Homo-oligomer: A and B are copies of this chain.
C-alpha cells in the first residue's frame, strides 16, 4: 500500500456514508492522480432509478471529464466495495493504473466471476474492509426490518 492510500480510502468511505444517508447501497469511490482527488462519487441507483449508476461508473465518467481524455492514465480508483462485473468491465476499458477496494463482495464481485481488469492495472484490497462492510451490513439489516 502507498502512503496516502489510507487517506484516499477514508474519502471513499465518506462518499459511502453519504450514500447511506440517502438510502442508497453505501458504496463510495474517489479517483486520484498525482496525489489529487479528481472525482468523488457514490452509488445513486435509487435516486436516478438507473442500475448503471454505481459509484465506480460515475467516478470513471467524472475523472475522464476532468482529464479530458477517456483513458485514466496514471489514475488510482479507491472504492469501498469490490467492483461488480459491470464496473470491472468499465475499469478494464479505462486502463487506469490501480484499483484499491476495501471490502470483498463474494456474491457479485468481479474476482469470483473470473473477470480481469486491464493488464496495466494493479489491484489491491482489504484497506478499511471492516469499516466498509459495517456500512453495507447496516444498510441491509435496516432494509430487512
Contacts and interface: CB of A to CB of B under 8 A. Distances in A.
Contacts of A93: 51-52, 84, 86
Number of copies: 2
A52 B49 CA distance: 18
A14 to B, nearest CB: 23
A115 interface: yes
Contact of A68 (B49, B51, B64, B115): B49
Contacts of A69: 49
A127 to B, nearest CB: 24
Contacts of A65: 49-50
User: Sorted from nearest, which 4 A-B pairs have the closest CB atoms?
Assistant: A86-B89, A85-B89, A51-B93, A49-B70
